[in-house]
């Protein structure tokens, strides 16, 4: 195991966004084996039907591990929205071995005061892929989706995580032979079964510097004292640079390297991007997490979210009958479905296609 003295904390400071005049290309790859854990940068990842993973052979994929509330009857997930300190929980995967490291030394002062142990803490375990007496099958709840099956990873890691989180929790691995599935209508494909682990609703997400820059500019104009957003705050898998607005590609295909994706819909945002991933606390003043969402709702036209995108993907209906009203959703980035499998490399070129090639 790596000693604590050898561990370095990789902050999420990113270089300035590439010039938008460049051709569209993949500028960043990020994944998290642990849902709501700290993201991992990568130069190369494999895209499977269920999302991304370190290699084609890896059994541990993006969001395949999840922390759940041990006392909740449905096994509700625990996220950074409730426990922002999870942003300091690093995950290192080698084969089937997972090392969890909680970086209390990086926590904001107000968080360190709540922690009984201010030192770096690590715990290593072997992922259990099948249920037994010590690792039972558990039914979990991913947001509003109930009965998602997972394999409990045992008492030892649960006790360690409970001391970090500050409540009784369990760690589960998404049962390999029981993935969640949803069927999507995709042009050129008669039917595509979207396979999920513990992701919210789609295997992959993408964000461009183009739309993020628009958002940050408008945010600075309207609220100059508010903190700005980096790509990492939105916890996306793929970061796009160059001449591409991902919202304008909804309903089309992206070819990234040799992998094809269907761009299904704009990504609805939640309060989690307000977390400071380098300090384990919420950023800004009280209420900032909700206020930034309000700004996003007002920016649909500028972000390229237009009437060309189906209404049900852009707005929500509030109220009933004659009192019903439409409210824009807070949207930024896109949900995507992989059409084929293969490796992605940072700097791979990106093309927007109206349809898939006939030989795919």
Helix (H) or strand (E) holding 122: strand 121-126
Query: 175 near 163, Cβ under 8 Å?
Result: no
Domain residue limits at 346: 183-353
Q: Which of 37, 156, 166, 42 is nearest to 89 (CA)?
A: 37
Tokens of 186: 């995709």
Q: Which of 8, 360, 2 is nearest to 186 (CA)?
A: 360
Whether the CA torsion 218, 219, 225, 230 is positive or negative: it is negative
Query: 327 near 297, Cβ under 8 Å?
Result: yes
For β-strands 281-282 and 315-318, DSSP reports them as: unpaired
How far apart (Å, rounded) are the C-alpha atoms in residues 182 and 198? 13
Question: Residue 17's pLDDT is what?
Answer: 55
Q: What's the structural domain count of the chain?
A: 1
Determine the average pLDDT of the residues in 251-274. Answer: 93
Does residue 238 form part of some domain?
Answer: yes
Q: What is the CATH number of the domain that holds 190?
A: 2.40.33
Question: Within the chain, where are the H helices?
Answer: 109-112, 155-165, 209-222, 288-297, 311-314
How far apart (Å, rounded) are the C-alpha atoms in residues 345 and 204? 15
How far apart (Å, rounded) are the C-alpha atoms in residues 37 and 35? 5
Q: How far is CA 75 from CA 8, 129, 163, 196, 283, in A?
A: 33, 19, 18, 18, 28
Helix axes 288-297, 209-222, angle to 10 degrees: 110
Q: Looking at per-residue confidence, does 351 or 11 come out higher? A: 351
How far apart (Å, rounded) are the C-alpha atoms in residues 355 and 149? 35
How far apart (Å, rounded) are the C-alpha atoms in residues 333 and 199? 15
Does residue 150 form part of some domain?
Answer: no
Determine the average pLDDT of the residues in 259-271. Answer: 93
Residue 170 DSSP label? E
Backbone angles phi, psi at 54, to 5 degrees: -60, -40
Question: Residue 6's pLDDT is what?
Answer: 44
Does residue 8 form part of some domain?
Answer: no
Checking if the pLDDT of 122 tops 60, the result is yes
Checking if the pLDDT of 353 tops 60, the result is yes
Helix (H) or strand (E) holding 185: strand 180-186
pLDDT category of residue 290 using cuts at 50, 70 and 90: confident
Does residue 18 form part of some domain?
Answer: no
Determine the average pLDDT of the residues in 246-272. Answer: 94
Does residue 157 form part of some domain?
Answer: no
CA angle 41–230–87, rounded 5-degree value: 60
Question: Residue 42's pLDDT is what?
Answer: 93
Checking if the pLDDT of 7 tops 70, the result is no
Does residue 194 form part of some domain?
Answer: yes
270, with CB counted inside 10 A (0-12, 13-18, 19+), is middle
Give the number of residues written for the chain: 360
Question: Residue 160's pLDDT is what?
Answer: 94
pLDDT in tens, 235-250: 999 999 998 999 999 9
Does residue 50 form part of some domain?
Answer: no
Query: 58 near 46, Cβ under 8 Å?
Result: yes
Query: 334 near 264, Cβ under 8 Å?
Result: yes
Question: Residue 284's pLDDT is what?
Answer: 76
How far apart (Å, rounded) are the C-alpha atoms in residues 343 and 45? 6
Checking if the pLDDT of 173 tops 50, the result is yes
Q: Any residues with CB less than 8 A from the CB of 79 and at least 6 apart, and which?
A: 35, 36, 86, 272
Q: Any residues with CB less than 8 A from the CB of 57 and at least 6 apart, and which?
A: none
Strand, coil or helix: what is 5? helix
pLDDT in tens, 134-148: 899 999 988 878 888
pLDDT in tens, 22-45: 899 999 999 999 999 999 999 999
Checking if the pLDDT of 1 tops 80, the result is no
Query: 197 near 174, Cβ under 8 Å?
Result: yes
Does residue 274 form part of some domain?
Answer: yes
């Amino acid at each position: 195991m790596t000693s604590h003295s050898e561990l370095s904390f990789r902050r999420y400071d990113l270089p300035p966004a590439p010039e938008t005049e460049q051709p569209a290309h993949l500028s960043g790859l990020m994944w998290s084996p642990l849902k709501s854990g700290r993201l991992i940068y990568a130069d190369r990842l494999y895209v499977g039907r269920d999302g991304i993973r370190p290699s084609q052979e890896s059994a541990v994929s993006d969001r395949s591990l999840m922390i759940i509330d041990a006392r909740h009857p449905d096994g509700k997930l625990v996220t950074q929205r409730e426990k922002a300190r999870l942003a300091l929980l690093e995950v290192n995967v080698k084969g089937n071995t997972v090392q969890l490291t909680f970086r209390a030394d990086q926590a904001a002062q107000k968080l360190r005061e709540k922690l009984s142990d201010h030192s770096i803490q690590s715990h290593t375990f072997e992922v259990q892929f099948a249920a037994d007496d010590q690792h039972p099958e558990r039914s979990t709840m991913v947001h509003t989706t109930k009965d998602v099956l997972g394999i409990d990873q045992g008492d030892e890691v649960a006790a360690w995580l409970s001391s970090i989180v500050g409540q009784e929790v369990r760690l589960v691995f998404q049962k390999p032979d029981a993935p969640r599935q949803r069927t999507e209508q995709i042009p050129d494909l008669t039917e595509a079964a979207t396979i999920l682990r513990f992701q919210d609703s789609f295997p992959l997400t993408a964000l461009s510097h183009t739309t993020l820059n628009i958002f940050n500019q408008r945010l600075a104009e309207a609220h100059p004292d508010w903190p700005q957003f980096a790509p990492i705050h939105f916890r996306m898998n793929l970061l796009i640079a160059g001449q591409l607005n991902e919202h304008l590609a909804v309903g089309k295909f992206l070819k990234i390297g040799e992998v094809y994706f269907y761009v299904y819909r704009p990504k609805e945002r939640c309060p989690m991007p307000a977390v400071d991933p380098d300090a384990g606390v919420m950023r800004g003043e009280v209420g900032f997490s909700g206020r930034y969402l309000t700004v996003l709702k007002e920016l649909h036209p500028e972000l390229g979210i237009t009437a060309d995108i189906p209404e049900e993907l852009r707005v929500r209906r509030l109220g009933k009958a004659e009192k019903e009203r439409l409210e824009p959703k807070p949207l930024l980035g896109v949900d995507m479905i992989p059409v084929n499998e293969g490796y992605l490399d940072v700097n791979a070129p990106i093309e927007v296609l109206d349809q898939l090639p006939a030989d795919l």
